[in-house]
Amino acid sequence: MNAVIAQLPVLILVVPIVGALLILLAGKVNRNFSYPVTLATISFQFAASLILLSAVMTGGTIHYYLGGWPPPMGIELVLDAFNSFVLVVILAMALLTAVWARQGAALDIPPEKTVPFFVVFQLLVTGLCGMTITGDIFNLYVFVEITSIAAYVLVASGRGARSLIAGFNYLVLGSIAAGFIVLGIGYLYVATGTLNMGELAAMLPASYGLATVHAAFLFLMIGFSIKVAFFPLHLWLPDAYTESPAVVTILIATATSKVTAYAMIRVIFSVFTPQYITESFPVTEVILIIAAIAIIAGAVLAIAQDNLKRMLAYSSISQMGYIMFAIGIANQIALEGGLLHIMAHAVMKGCLFMVAGMIIYRTGITGIHQMSGLSRTMPLTCAAFALAGASMIGIPPTIGFMSKYYLVLGAVEAGQYLAAAVLLIGSLLAAVYIWRVIEIMYFGDHHEGALHSGPEAPLSMLVPVLILAASCLLLGLFVDIPLEIIGPAVTLLLGGS
């Protein structure tokens, strides 16, 4: 392997930390310097993630020992087909969010907070990358906390008091979740004497009958379920998504939630292994039932909302149910659909939340009923919403359809016909809350006085939205490309190592 490529795993973590320091120093000279540093740093990370994905797909799993110390004494960074795919997805979303933030951040972030905002923004992305590539379960917890603390601060960084309350609620529930996670990790260490994920997977089968291991699994699942807002542990999410600055909502909904879902899947399948959750401590049926409830309940709650951001927030609860649904089925096809939905939801929800932010930026309105005839003044923005919304519903040939198609196939293969029907009902309910917005935008009576002048948001906000909207269609048409990565990733997960 090329010497430079061999150092990229650690550079993906070191460069953004240095970037955060540079933002702080440059901001003392001129606060306008903070944004270019942020954009350059995340651009480097994204380029590095593409190189690493290519290296993994051609050369196999990459192991990087920090300081040259191999595990169990040292800390290991690992890149395989699964996490290198997730790394590309989250950094692509972080980069598009950073582009959108050039002018979108000004919507909610006061000028005097610009420098600290981008410092914390950079630290959040650093934590997400660390969660994705670490091979040590305790360091997974460390990066979870770095990510969470940054997220709490960003949620509370808006102009209004409501963002402070949302950030505080997020902090309280996130801290409870962190307590469960660290307890679970402690129990695993007691049972095995190691924190390296690969060694845990090898050593845990001998201890599968221990109550300590069962307790560790439950603690970890409760902690991660709170972090990903898995119903009914989702109470922090609606306010956090609704009241936080638009750029923060975009990043948390697309990148943070997806990495946390990745962490949960990694722990379930790569630490505890499929044998544990299906035979030694069978929990897949319980996960499947709760996921089915989440799909329906989240969609019903979304239908009841008038605030666009809040509607999309409850929709995220429903969509997270689809990812957990794949864990409940736990076969090759369903898990391929689940990993595909991680990417699909990041793209779809990123586009939809960007559109919501652009509507607020241009018109100042947040209520769905106020958007009557909006397509006449913001045609490209509304078209992007319609395309991403079609993907959210699961209309072919969008990526949302393809991910749900694989989930249905997996459920049918497992003989879970009722569960497959729940997926279809969830899509019908999604059609209700998405179509309601589209109908008002396109077919509502237009009132000039209700909207501010100016047809579209600035180009730096519009381009990322159009890229994501096009991706909803192109990723569905050329779904074989991501599946070439996802297929081996799922095979790796089902192999348990």
What's the confidence (pLDDT) of residue 1?
Answer: 55
More confident residue, 450 or 18: 18
DSSP string, 61-128: -EEEEGGG--TTTS-EEEE-HHHHHHHHHHHHHHHHHHHHHHHHGGGTS-GGGHHHHHHHHHHHHHHH
What's the confidence (pLDDT) of residue 87?
Answer: 92
Dmax (CA) for the chain in angstroms is 70
H helices of 30-80, in order, are: 34-59
What's the confidence (pLDDT) of residue 91?
Answer: 93
- Find, among 47, 49, 92, the residue nearest to 468 by Cα: 92
- Alpha-carbon distance of 449 to 467, in angstroms, equals 31
- Find, among 214, 213, 216, the residue nearest to 203 by Cα: 213
pLDDT score of 450 more than 50 = no
What's the confidence (pLDDT) of residue 468?
Answer: 94
Structure confidence by residue, pLDDT tens digits, 293-321: 999 999 999 998 888 888 998 998 998 88
Under the banding of pLDDT at 50, 70 and 90, the label for residue 459 is confident
Using the structure block, give the residue that is written with the tokens 């730096």.
460
Segment 46-63 shows an average pLDDT of 88
Using the structure block, give the residue that is written with the tokens 């709650």.
301
Least confident of 56-65, 101-110, 123-132: 101-110
Under the banding of pLDDT at 50, 70 and 90, the label for residue 57 is confident
- Alpha-carbon distance of 76 to 80, in angstroms, equals 13
- Alpha-carbon distance of 362 to 334, in angstroms, equals 41
- Alpha-carbon distance of 281 to 378, in angstroms, equals 53
Under the banding of pLDDT at 50, 70 and 90, the label for residue 469 is very high
More confident residue, 46 or 450: 46
What's the confidence (pLDDT) of residue 449?
Answer: 42
What's the confidence (pLDDT) of residue 446?
Answer: 58
Residue ranges per domain, the chain? 283-497
**Residue pair 6/64 in contact by the 8 Å Cβ criterion:** yes
Structure confidence by residue, pLDDT tens digits, 214-269: 899 999 999 999 988 888 877 788 888 888 888 888 888 888 888 888 899 998 88
What's the confidence (pLDDT) of residue 429?
Answer: 92
The DSSP bridge partners found for residue 367 are 307
What's the confidence (pLDDT) of residue 90?
Answer: 92
What's the confidence (pLDDT) of residue 387?
Answer: 92
What's the confidence (pLDDT) of residue 341?
Answer: 92
